[in-house]
């Protein structure tokens, strides 16, 4: 008895801590009236995420500008120079072409990876025999990073698109597969039991329970993969490529065109953010109820 109550105290503390976590919501409104700030401060609190974002970006630019000014080296082009290079590359069409090439590689590899990763992850989660057979290979390969496959991929698939897409595909498959498998294991037992109770057939269990119950896990895996694929595409374009953002970084670096190089890096980062935001938007829009009650937000 005493033990449970003692344990209870610490659990209470944890929960209190969790409640204190402000999360994405508007903190100002959650405070009791006595702690409310005056109107102007409340306004600041409401818009603070945006204000802080702007400040953060501005600070980054300023730090870069100061560094570039004080060092006065061609290795540190000023923000203005980088912007000019960007505008120039938009003007002559290279930027859009590079973006198109890289995004296409990412998109194809990513979609193929999801198309293979989700069913395989479900099958491994559902059927012990499939899991027993595939798991050793999966466990081994997941510690061999995509970049390690770059040379063999080029040797096998040539220097064309296939080798680059294969790298993205490889990376996506494992993340999606492992997450999906975890999702199957995490289905509450009573959800399966109740479905069994109502006499669902095999395919009904799959389509009506297992797939929707696992979807949020697959999507979480896909989101991580989407983020990583921007790193992976640079890796894939390091060697034997003649277009793409990764190629542009390597190529302009070799020509000491640092402004172009940083411009491409900037675009890469922005594209990554945009892709992640889009994925998040779609997930909250269409998958809100597929997410388990506790993992809302993030």
Partner 1 sequence: MATEPVAAGSQAAEQGSIAVRDVSFGFGSGRPEVLDDVTFDVASGEFFVLLGPSGCGKSTVLNLIAGFEQPTQGTVLASGRPVAGAARDRVVIFQDSDSLYGWLTVRDNVTFPLRVQGIAARERDERALAALKVVGLKGHEDKYPGELSGGMKQRTQLARALVLDAPILLMDEPFAALDAQTRSILQDELVQLSVTMRRTVLFITHDIGEAILLGDRVGIMRAGPGSSIKETIVVHLSRPRRRGSAEFGALYDRIHRSISEEVQQALRREDSLL
Alpha-carbon distance of 10 to 293, in angstroms, equals 23
Alpha-carbon distance of 176 to 171, in angstroms, equals 9
Chosen residue from 152, 188, 269, 297 binding partner 1 by CB under 8 A: 188
Alpha-carbon distance of 212 to 292, in angstroms, equals 11
Q: Which of residues 24-83 bind partner 1 (CB under 8 A)?
A: none
Alpha-carbon distance of 248 to 234, in angstroms, equals 9
When the beta carbons of 35 and 197 are compared against partner 1, the nearer one is 197
Find where tokens 């595909």 sit.
Answer: 169
When the beta carbons of 214 and 229 are compared against partner 1, the nearer one is 214
Chosen residue from 41, 193, 277, 280 binding partner 1 by CB under 8 A: 193
Nearest distance from C-beta of residue 184 to partner 1, angstroms: 15
Q: Which of residues 210-229 bind partner 1 (CB under 8 A)?
A: 212-213, 215
Chosen residue from 18, 196, 270, 282 binding partner 1 by CB under 8 A: 196
Of 94, 95, 228, 237, which is closest to residue 160 (Cα–Cα)? 237
Chosen residue from 5, 10, 70, 190 binding partner 1 by CB under 8 A: 190
Which two structure tokens, joined as six digits, stand for 11? 């659990």
Provide φ and ψ at 239, rounded to 5°.
Answer: -120, 140
Alpha-carbon distance of 43 to 207, in angstroms, equals 47
Q: Which of residues 238-297 bind partner 1 (CB under 8 A)?
A: 289-290, 292-293, 296
When the beta carbons of 280 and 296 are compared against partner 1, the nearer one is 296
Which two structure tokens, joined as six digits, stand for 257? 């065109």
Which two structure tokens, joined as six digits, stand for 249? 């970084």
Chosen residue from 185, 204, 269, 278 binding partner 1 by CB under 8 A: 204
Alpha-carbon distance of 103 to 105, in angstroms, equals 5
When the beta carbons of 122 and 213 are compared against partner 1, the nearer one is 213
Q: Does 6 bind partner 1 (CB under 8 A)?
A: no
Q: Does 199 bind partner 1 (CB under 8 A)?
A: yes
Interface with partner 1 (CB under 8 A): 188, 190-191, 193-200, 204, 208-209, 212-213, 215, 289-290, 292-293, 296
């Amino acid at each position: 008895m005493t033990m449970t109550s003692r344990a209870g105290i610490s659990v209470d503390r944890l929960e209190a801590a969790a409640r204190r976590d402000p999360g994405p919501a508007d903190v100002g409104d959650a405070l009791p009236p006595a702690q409310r700030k005056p109107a102007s401060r409340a306004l600041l609190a409401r818009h603070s995420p945006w204000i802080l974002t702007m400040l953060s970006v501005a600070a980054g630019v300023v730090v870069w500008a100061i560094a570039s000014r004080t060092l006065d080296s061609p290795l540190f082009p000023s923000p203005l120079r980088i912007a000019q290079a960007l505008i120039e590359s938009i003007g002559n069409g290279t930027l859009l072409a590079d973006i198109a090439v890289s995004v296409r590689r990412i998109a194809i590899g990513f979609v193929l990876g999801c198309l293979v990763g989700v069913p395989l992850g479900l099958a491994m989660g559902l059927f012990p025999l499939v899991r027993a057979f595939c798991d050793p290979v999966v466990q081994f390969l997941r510690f061999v990073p995509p970049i390690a496959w770059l040379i063999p991929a080029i040797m096998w698939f040539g220097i064309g698109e296939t080798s680059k897409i294969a790298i993205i595909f490889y990376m996506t498959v494992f993340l999606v597969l492992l997450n999906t498998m975890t999702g199957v294991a995490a289905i509450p037992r009573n959800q399966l039991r109740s479905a069994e109770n109502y006499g669902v057939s095999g395919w009904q269990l799959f389509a009506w329970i297992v797939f929707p119950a696992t979807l949020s896990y697959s999507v979480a895996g896909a989101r991580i993969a989407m983020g990583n694929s921007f790193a992976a595409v640079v890796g894939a374009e390091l060697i034997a490529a003649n277009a793409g953002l990764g190629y542009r970084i390597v190529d302009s670096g070799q020509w000491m065109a640092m402004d172009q190089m940083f411009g491409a890096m900037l675009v890469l980062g922005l594209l990554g953010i945009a892709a992640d935001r889009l994925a998040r938007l779609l997930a909250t829009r269409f998958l809100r109820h597929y997410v388990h009650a506790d993992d809302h937000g993030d």
